[in-house]
Amino acid sequence: MVIEEILAESRDLYQGQYDELIGRLIQIPRGSLRSRQVGGTSYWYLRRHLRSKGYEDVYIGPVGDRSAEALVQFVRERKKRIDERNTVKQALKALGVTRVEFQEKGYHRMFAALADAFGRVGLWDEGLMLIGSWCFNVYVQVLGVAFFPLRTMDFDFGLRIPFTGDKTNVDQLLRELGFSAKIDPGHDKIDYVLPGVGVVEVFIDRGKATPAQVDTLKRDLSIRPAAVSFLQILIDHPVTVPVRGIHKAITVPSMPAFFVHRLVTAKFGEYRDTAFHAAKIRKDYKQAALVAKRIASDEALQVELAGIISELSEDLRQKMRAGATAAEAYIKAPDLTEEDILHIQRLATADK
């Protein structure tokens, strides 16, 4: 009937708005804004509450600084988006949408759902690894790395080649979680997209993947991963960590491996053109700096870093050091400071 079609269109419209709002809210850092005066200059801080640790103030930047003010406005946006979310939620209720249908998507729910789903089919035991910015977020939540606002919604995973696990239909698994396949013929890959939540991408190391191994992977897992350079730096140094809210421990690269990989790929990795990807490169360096600071506080991590660097080819060592030197060109507070560069370059040249 016409009325049913109108209601269905309204539900789809409001559901789309709801997903977009939730996606926006996930990215906005939680906390309250504070300003302090030091030596006649005012600075912005984000006050966050840490369970069992109390409050911490995260430096944003000087009052009036363009980048700092942009992040301040982003934080202030939270209340408005929450009000909009509540309005849309009421509209969905009036249209008969159940609580389950508009249950909020987000880091805790979707990340946990992905991690648990991959665990059920044994992928964490067979070479799957969480990489990228969500991996950095795990370092923050579990391994004591300093907080920095998450700037991407992509869930990136690396996969060891050759894959020796059992066959499983990852395409179907992701579709059941609500993701849709997005074919990228230019890069011969398929990503999985969920509006308002993010993108799932799976990567393999270009240098380790023969055409036959890639064909086997496509057949056994029903996915088409993207081949990238230097991924083996991460894959060769896995660490298993428990994450609150996830039934099975997940695999991430060790922090020293992450540090080395960030320096190499910030300058030499795919999708790091300085003319188009300056913000992404700066984010890579910031994450490297915060991980470097954590490594510098732990003797065991320093020993592991020295071991990883000693195993690199001379070409990769030179790329790592060139990446550390190039970081100076991306200084822009609060995203990347001179102090951050010092943390990076101290560790990158410690073996000299």
Contacts (Cβ under 8 Å, ≥6 apart) of 96: 7, 11
Rounded average pLDDT over 72-86: 85
Complete DSSP assignment for 143-178:
S-PPP-------EEEEE-SS--S----HHHHHHHTT
Asked if residue 317 and residue 235 are part of one domain, the reply reads no
Rounded average pLDDT over 144-152: 73
pLDDT at 151 over 60: no
Asked if residue 312 and residue 224 are part of one domain, the reply reads no
Structural domain including 160 reads: 120-249
Q: Is residue 352 part of a domain?
A: yes
Residues in the chain: 352
198 confidence band (pLDDT: 50, 70, 90)? confident
Tokens matching residue 4: 């049913």
CA atoms within 13 A on the CB side of 230: 22
% of the chain residues with pLDDT over 90:
39
Tokens matching residue 182: 């997005």
pLDDT of residue 260: 97
Among 216, 231, 249, identify where a domain stops: 249
pLDDT of residue 196: 66
Asked if residue 185 and residue 161 are part of one domain, the reply reads yes
pLDDT of residue 3: 54
Q: Is residue 127 part of a domain?
A: yes
Among 94, 112, 137, identify where a domain stops: 94
Integer Cα distance of 77 and 27 in angstroms: 11
Q: Is residue 125 part of a domain?
A: yes
Integer Cα distance of 163 and 123 in angstroms: 10
Q: Is residue 103 part of a domain?
A: no
Asked if residue 282 and residue 243 are part of one domain, the reply reads no
pTM: 0.74
pLDDT in tens, 295-348: 999 999 999 999 999 999 999 999 999 999 999 999 887 778 899 999 999 999
pLDDT of residue 1: 46
Complete DSSP assignment for 87-123:
HHHHHHHHTT--TTTTPPPSIIIIIHHHHHHHHHTTG
Rounded average pLDDT over 23-33: 74
Q: Is residue 237 part of a domain?
A: yes
Asked if residue 72 and residue 128 are part of one domain, the reply reads no
156 confidence band (pLDDT: 50, 70, 90)? very high
Integer Cα distance of 28 and 258 in angstroms: 25
Q: In 10 A of CB 127, how many CB atoms?
A: 18
Asked if residue 314 and residue 301 are part of one domain, the reply reads yes
pLDDT of residue 152: 61
Among 199, 215, 249, identify where a domain stops: 249
Rounded average pLDDT over 210-235: 92
Asked if residue 82 and residue 22 are part of one domain, the reply reads yes
Q: Which residues pair with 194 in a beta bridge?
A: 198
Q: Which residues of 276-306 are buried (b: 16+ CB within 10 A; e: fewer)?
A: ebeebbbbbbbbbbbbbbbbeeeeebeebbe
Q: Is residue 312 part of a domain?
A: yes
Integer Cα distance of 150 and 142 in angstroms: 15
Residue type, 248: K
Q: Is residue 31 part of a domain?
A: yes
Asked if residue 333 and residue 270 are part of one domain, the reply reads yes
pLDDT of residue 232: 95
pLDDT in tens, 224-264: 999 999 999 999 999 999 887 777 789 999 999 999 999 99
Asked if residue 305 and residue 258 are part of one domain, the reply reads yes
pLDDT of residue 100: 44
Contacts (Cβ under 8 Å, ≥6 apart) of 229: 205, 206, 207, 265, 268, 269, 270
Q: What's the domain count of the chain?
A: 3
Asked if residue 161 and residue 240 are part of one domain, the reply reads yes
Asked if residue 81 and residue 8 are part of one domain, the reply reads yes
Pairing type for strands 226-228 and 198-205 reads parallel
pLDDT at 209 over 70: yes
Q: Is residue 101 part of a domain?
A: no
Asked if residue 150 and residue 205 are part of one domain, the reply reads yes
